[in-house]
Structure 1
Amino acid sequence: MDFLPRVKDGDEARVSVAYLRRGGTLGMHPATLRQVFSVLTGAGEVQISGGPRRSVRPGMLVVWEPGELHQTWATTDLTAVILETTGTLDLDEHFREL
């Protein structure tokens, strides 16, 4: 699976799966480590504290840096993989900023 970026030079990594029902939210909270939020199914919106809401859908990922306040809303049932790491992300040509 090349959907998640490779991690280099890290000494810690955690992977979680989030299931959010339509209308659900992961409330505003700080990223404790560098965090990759990768949408597998469904659709939603994400926001960095003070910024605009941005739509997310399958195949998209969002990167939050340590300490960055962020929130996620599910506009449909949504499943995401969350990678948290102390390492550097290898965001090669498969990944681009929108």
Structure 2
Amino acid sequence: MRRVRLSPREITAFGSRGVSMVAPARVLEPVSGFAVHLATFAAGAVVGRHETRLWQLFAVVSGEGWAAGADGVRVPLAAGDAVLWEPGELHESGSDAGMVAVVVESPAAPVPDEG
């Protein structure tokens, strides 16, 4: 086992506020566009509306918040919920009380296990 330090960075693009992200893992032989991020939302945080470049799976680990897709309708999310955005889809997310989510970006559709 090797202990590593994860260094979060604040997200400010697209009018975002109160969100920090860390990339907890990367591969030595990268797949172009593939990334995994841990997003921590403070109370009142928002990632502003923008287009996703690739497939993006947004899975809530703790807390609660919301996500919206192309239609702009905010869907409530809690721990165990996930949404999947298609490449080029306008989207945004946020939390009134605080939330932690894992974000997987991929050139191929990451298929969530729906039980």
Superposition TM-score, scaled by structure 2 size: 0.67
1:57 to 67, 75, 78: 78
How far is the alpha carbon of 1:22 from its aligned partner?
Answer: 0.9
Partner of 2:98: 77
2:65 to 23, 30, 44: 44
Amino acid at match of 1:38: A
Structure with higher RCO (Cα < 8 A, 6+ apart): 1
Unaligned runs of 5+ in 1: 1-9
How far is the alpha carbon of 1:91 from its aligned partner?
Answer: 3.9
Alignment of 1:1-98 (within 5 A): 12-94=33-115
Amino acid at match of 1:65: E
- Cα 1:12–1:78 shift into 2, 3 Å: same
Percent identity over the alignment is 32
- Cα 1:89–1:80 shift into 2, 3 Å: same
Unaligned runs of 5+ in 2: 1-30
The total of aligned residue pairs comes to: 85
How far is the alpha carbon of 1:84 from its aligned partner?
Answer: 0.2
Superposition TM-score, scaled by structure 1 size: 0.78
